[in-house]
Amino acid sequence: MMFCPQCKGLMISSGGQLKCKKCGYIRDFNDTDRLTKTDKRTEKEITIVEDVEEIATLPTTTIKCPECDCTTAYWWLRQLRAADESEVRFFRCTACGKTWREYD
């Protein structure tokens, strides 16, 4: 993205030039102005809480563990996909340590 040097507004391509939508500043394209197209989206790694001391500070909730049927688990949220998609809720059983996730 290109930003206006005068008002810091977003500039758009218009007839071989860049024009600020906010203040009207116009400049010609130069050699450093390049558009790139990305066909592939890369996913970030899932962060799993490993430190026992860090787990002890997490909040708990009442939910049934799929492994041992315990009804208490630690929980935390992570944004794994695009910002406009909901977060993923992770759970870790307080008894057996099994970790699982839940989507909205």
pLDDT, one tens digit per residue, over 9-21 is 888 887 778 888 8
pLDDT, one tens digit per residue, over 58-91 is 889 999 999 898 999 998 887 766 777 778 888 9
Residue type, 4: C
Whether 84 is a known active-site residue: answer yes
Which candidate in 31, 39, 50, 84 is catalytic? 84
User: What's domain 52-102's architecture?
Assistant: Single Sheet (2.20)
Which candidate in 33, 54, 69, 85 is catalytic? 85
Q: What is the pTM assigned to this prediction?
A: 0.46
CA dist 86 and 104 (Å) reads 7
- Cα–Cα distances (Å) from 78 to 63, 72, 81, 87, in that order, read 18, 20, 9, 6
CA dist 17 and 2 (Å) reads 12
Per domain, the residue ranges of the chain are 1-36, 52-102
